[in-house]
Copies of this chain bind each other. A is one copy, B any other.
Amino acid sequence: MSSVAYIAVVGPGENATGDAIADATEIGTLIAQRGWITLTGGRRAGVMAAAAAGARSAGGIAIGLLPGSDRSDAAPELSAALPTGLGGARNAVLVTAADAVVACGMNPGTVSEIALALRANKPTVLVKASAAAAEFLSSIATDAPFQVVETPAEALAWVAARMSSAHP
């Protein structure tokens, strides 16, 4: 599995915007086209479901880490849905399991995942972030690789450059 990368695609569930859903779908597809694995928060909503759908549509693997203790709200597009029973601590596990984090859209849960990724020095990229998000989050990203981009293709190209340097 030496050349496989695990990319967490994070973002809002029920309140995700159309842009965030479209971007997450394309990002899942781009991850799959590289032969990489898409990780999500697992639920049947918003960015989580879109990233899984994008990955599966391209023949890829998508694994969801659910906050609850059962699969009742799992996205059906997932290759595997894993209930963790950890509640909010599942966000930390999702980040730990990933080599890099891509965020589409923004809410408190998404911010927690971005911040935990920066805390762990994992490459983290935001797609179409607001100016306020870009300014603040870049101000705390003093140690971790961090970028704000406008398109899924830019996000994946940036992540790919980080992965090849991390695994020479």
**Footprint of B on A, CB under 8 Å?**
1, 6, 37, 39, 61, 63, 65, 69, 71, 74, 76, 78-89, 91-93, 95-97, 106-112, 114-116, 118-120, 130, 132-133, 135-137, 139-141, 144
Contacts and interface: CB of A to CB of B under 8 A. Distances in A.
Given A109-B115, A136-B135, A141-B108, A85 B93 contact: yes
A112 B141 CA distance: 12
A32 to B, nearest CB: 13
A91 B133 CA distance: 21
A120 to B, nearest CB: 6
A53 B114 CA distance: 31
Nearest to A120: B88
A86 to B, nearest CB: 6
A102 to B, nearest CB: 17
B116 A140 contact: no
Contact of A1 (B61, B76, B85, B91): B76
Contacts of A137: 111, 136
Contacts of A83: 96-97
16 contacts: A1-B74, A63-B63, A65-B82, A84-B97, A87-B87, A88-B116, A89-B92, A89-B93, A89-B96, A106-B140, A107-B140, A108-B116, A111-B115, A111-B118, A130-B136, A136-B136
